[in-house]
Amino acid sequence: MPCRCDSNPCSTCICAKSNEACTSECHGKKDWANVPCLNTEVGKKVKSMSIKDIRLALCANQLSPVGDKSELLKRLAVFFQNQKSVNVNNPESSKSETKPSSNHQASKNQLFEIILESEGNHELILSLSGQTVTKNSSKSDLRRAYLLLSSKVHPDKNSNAKESVQAFQILLNAFERLSNPDKFELESDEEKPAKKRQKTEQYMRSNDGCFKTKIKCPQCMQTWGGNELGLEDGAYNFFMMAIKQYICGRCSCEFGCMTAVHYCPHCNKTFDYDPDDYHRQIICGNGNCSKKFGFMMFKVSARRENEVRAEAKLKHEQYLKRISQKNRRAARSDKRSVKIYGTVDENLQEKLFIIGLRDTCPRCGWEIDRSDELEEAKVHLDNCNNESVIEAYKKKLQEEEAQSKIKLQKEMSQAEIMGIKQWEHNGRQVGQLWMLSDAMLKKLCADLKLEVTGLRHEIISKLSNYLRSNQRLMLTDGKNKRSIEANFDTTSLAKVDIDDLPKNINQMEREELQDLCASYGVKFDAKKDVKSILIKKFESARMSGQNKLMICDKHKDSDESLDESSDTDYNISFDLKK
C-alpha cells in the first residue's frame, strides 16, 4: 500500500516506519510546503527542537511565533528548506553568514524590526520571548516575558540605537497594556465631573468562572481561610486585594497575598500571584494547564468595607512609625558602634562571652551551658584555634544573614504593595502620599516623568505640587497619557475628612511630619522646624483653610445639602471575561 501523507502528519506512515524520507509521490504530487508532512531531512531536525527553541528561531528569522506546535514546526521546516536551496544555488552567501558576531547582531536587528512592525499587537510582541502570552496570562508570566525581551532590546545594551529605543518603548507599552488593561480602558471613556468628592472605589462584577483559590501559610504550609479560623467571607476579598494581612492559625505567622503560597484550582500547582490579577481571569502558566480562572469576590457591605479600610490605614500608620523609629535607632547605633574592617569589634563580643552576657562563642559558635562557671568560657576561648571550625561558623552566619535579608526583602515588598493598594483603593489621595514607600514614590515620579532627586519630603512636595496643578488637565484632556491615571484626589487640607488624616499627629516622628506637610502643601523649614513647630503649622493651615470656607459659605454641610441624592462611593463595573 503506497504512503499517503498529503492530509495528515506522517509520523505513522509506511515511509516513516521504514525510516525513509517521503517523496512527492507520497504527497499526491503536491508541493511539500502545502502538506503537513515532516518526514524529510529538514523536518526531522526541526521535530527534535523544543517549542521554546522553535519560537526563538522563528523570531530570529522574522517569522510569526503564533500558532499550535504542528503549525510552528511546519513553518520553520519550510523556512529551513528554502534556505537550504538558496545556499546550494549560492554557496558564497552561506560562507558570508558564518560569522557569529554578525549573525548575533543580525538576529537582534530582526527582532527590532519584528517588534516595530507588530506595534499594537501586544500578545505577539511578548510571545517573542519564546513563551506563549495571551491577554489571560498571569502578571508573573507577563513580567517574565517582558524581562527576557528587555534584556535583549534595552537601549543600554544596544548603544542607545534609535531602533532599540523605539522597540523598547513598544515592548514596555505592550507589557503595561496587558498587565493593567482596566486602566487603559479609561482612555476612551468620556470623563464626567463628579457631583461629590470621589473617595473610595467599590468594584461590582460577576463571579462566573471564579474560584476561592487554595492559599497556604508560607511558614508552616497550613491551608488558610477555613471555617476553623472563624473568618468572614469578605476576608478573602481583603486578603487578595492586598488591603489586609492575616495571622496563621497554626504558627501565628502574619502574611499577605504577596508572601502566601497560591494554588491553581485546576491543576493544583503553585503560581505567582499579583494583586492586579484579582479582577481578571488568568491562566496559571504551569505546563499543559491552559484553563482560565478568576478569583471569587464575596459580597461585603459598604459599612464593613469602610471599617476594614480604616483598620488597615491605622495599621499601616503604625508600621510606618515602627520603620521610622527603627531607622533612627540604627542611625544612632552606627555612630556609637566601634567597627573594624566593616564588622563589629570581635574583642567586645569575646568580653561579653567571658562575663556571661553572650551564650555562644563569637569564633566557632560553641554554646556554653548556663550551669558552667564563667572560667569555662575563658578556657574555651584560649583553646578556640581550629581554623576549619571557625571558617565553617562564619560561613553559617553569612548564610543565615543572607536568608534573613531575603525574608526582610519579601516583607518589605509585601508592605510596599499593601501601601500602594490601600492608597489606590482610598481614591489616590494626594494628601496621603506620605504613606507610600520610597520605591513607590519613585515609580510614581517615573510614570509622571518627574525628576527623582532630593530628600523624601522634597520628592513628595514635587509630586503633590505637580498633581494638584495638573489635575484639571488630567481630568479633561482625554488625549493626555496621564488621563489613564485620573481620579487623583486633590482635596485640600481644609476640605479633607478627619478620617483621612493621621490618627494621632502628636505621636508621629519629625520625618513623618515633614512628609505629611509636603503632601498637603504646608510650607515649613526642613532644617530649623522641630516636631512641635511642624504640628503647629499643619494645624494652623487646616484651621485657616476651614475659616476661609466658612466665610465663603462653602463648608461641608452646604456641599452635602446640594448632593443629597449622590453617593460617596463610585462603582466600577466590568466583565471578567473581557
Query: Among candidates 351, 325, 326, which has minimal Cα distance to 338?
Result: 351
The amino acid sitting at 530 is: V
Return d(Cα 573, Cα 381) in angstroms, integer. Answer: 70
Question: Are residues 74 and 54 in contact, defined by beta-carbon separation less than 8 angstroms?
Answer: no
Q: In angstroms, how far is CA 126 from the centroid of its own chain?
A: 17
Comparing 201 with 489, which gets the higher pLDDT? 489
Return d(Cα 80, Cα 46) in angstroms, integer. Answer: 9
Q: In 10 A of CB 237, how many CB atoms?
A: 21
Using DSSP's 3-state secondary structure scheme, residue 185 falls into helix
Q: Long-range CB contacts (< 8 A, 24+ apart) of 59-63?
A: 59/110, 59/111, 59/114, 59/128, 59/130, 60/107, 60/110, 60/111, 61/110, 62/110, 62/113, 62/114
Answer yes or no: is pLDDT of 236 > 90: yes
pLDDT band for position 131 (cuts 50, 70, 90): confident
pLDDT band for position 103 (cuts 50, 70, 90): low
Answer yes or no: is pLDDT of 436 > 60: yes
Q: Which helix (H) or strand (E) holds 238?
A: helix 235-240
Q: Classify each residue of 74-90 as buried b or exposed e, where b means 16 or more C-beta atoms within 10 Å of its C-beta.
A: bbbbbbbbeeeeeeeee
> Among 16-25, 150-159, 437-446, whose mean pLDDT is lowest?
16-25
> Among 383-387, 425-429, 452-456, 525-529, whose mean pLDDT is lowest?
425-429
Give the torsion sign (CA, 444, 447, 450, 451): positive
Residues 6+ apart with CB under 8 A from 117: none
pLDDT of residue 7: 53
Beta partners for 262?
215, 271
- Averaged pLDDT, 274-300: 89
Question: Are residues 572 and 201 in contact, defined by beta-carbon separation less than 8 angstroms?
Answer: yes
Using DSSP's 3-state secondary structure scheme, residue 285 falls into coil
pLDDT of residue 5: 57
Q: Tell me the pLDDT tens digit for each residue of 160-178.
A: 788 888 888 888 888 888 8
- Cell representation of residue 327: 531607622
Residue ranges of E strands in 165-233: 200-204, 210-211, 215-216, 223-224
Answer yes or no: is pLDDT of 271 > 70: yes
Q: Tell me the pLDDT tens digit for each residue of 252-264.
A: 888 988 889 999 9
The amino acid sitting at 496 is: V
Residue ranges of E strands in 325-430: 339-340, 343-344
- Cell representation of residue 205: 462584577
Identify the DSSP state of 283.
B
pLDDT of residue 472: 47
Q: Which of 126-135, 353-362, 434-443, 508-517 has the highest mean pLDDT?
A: 508-517
Give the torsion sign (CA, 181, 187, 188, 191): positive
Comparing 52 with 365, which gets the higher pLDDT? 365
Answer yes or no: is pLDDT of 6 > 70: no
Q: Inter-axis angle of helices 162-179 and 100-117, to 10 degrees?
A: 50
pLDDT band for position 28 (cuts 50, 70, 90): low
pLDDT of residue 105: 66
Return d(Cα 423, Cα 113) in angstroms, integer. Answer: 40
- Averaged pLDDT, 514-522: 91
pLDDT of residue 54: 80
Q: Which of 304-318, 319-333, 536-550 has the highest mean pLDDT?
A: 304-318
Q: Inter-axis angle of helices 438-447 and 387-425, to 10 degrees?
A: 50
pLDDT of residue 556: 42
Task: Let me know the angle formed at the C-alpha of 410 by 409 and 415, rounded to the nearest 5 degrees.
Answer: 95
Identify the DSSP state of 109.
H
Comparing 360 with 410, which gets the higher pLDDT? 360
Q: Which helix (H) or strand (E) holds 51?
A: helix 51-60
Residues 6+ apart with CB under 8 A from 257: 215, 239, 240, 241, 242, 273, 275
Q: Which residue has the cell 508570566?
A: 141
Beta partners for 201?
570
Identify the DSSP state of 186.
G
Answer yes or no: is pLDDT of 123 > 70: yes
pLDDT of residue 265: 94
- Averaged pLDDT, 2-15: 59
Q: In angstroms, how far is CA 31 from the centroid of its own chain?
A: 49
- Cell representation of residue 318: 503604625
Question: Are residues 217 and 302 in contact, defined by beta-carbon separation less than 8 angstroms?
Answer: no
Percent of the chain as helix, strand, coil, to the nearest 5: 55, 5, 40
Return d(Cα 303, Cα 298) in angstroms, integer. Answer: 15
Question: What is the widest separation between alpha-carbon atoms in the chain?
Answer: 101
Q: 480 burial class (0-12, 13-18, 19+ CB within 10 angstroms)?
A: middle
Return d(Cα 63, Cα 71) in angstroms, integer. Answer: 12
* Residues present in the chain in total: 578
Answer yes or no: is pLDDT of 202 > 70: no
Beta partners for 283?
137
Q: Which helix (H) or strand (E) holds 153?
A: helix 139-153
Q: Which of 368-372, 395-399, 570-574 has the highest mean pLDDT?
A: 395-399
Q: Which of 439-443, 493-497, 528-532 has the highest mean pLDDT?
A: 528-532
Answer yes or no: is pLDDT of 232 > 50: yes
Comparing 373 with 50, which gets the higher pLDDT? 50
pLDDT of residue 546: 57
Comparing 279 with 74, which gets the higher pLDDT? 279
The amino acid sitting at 29 is: K
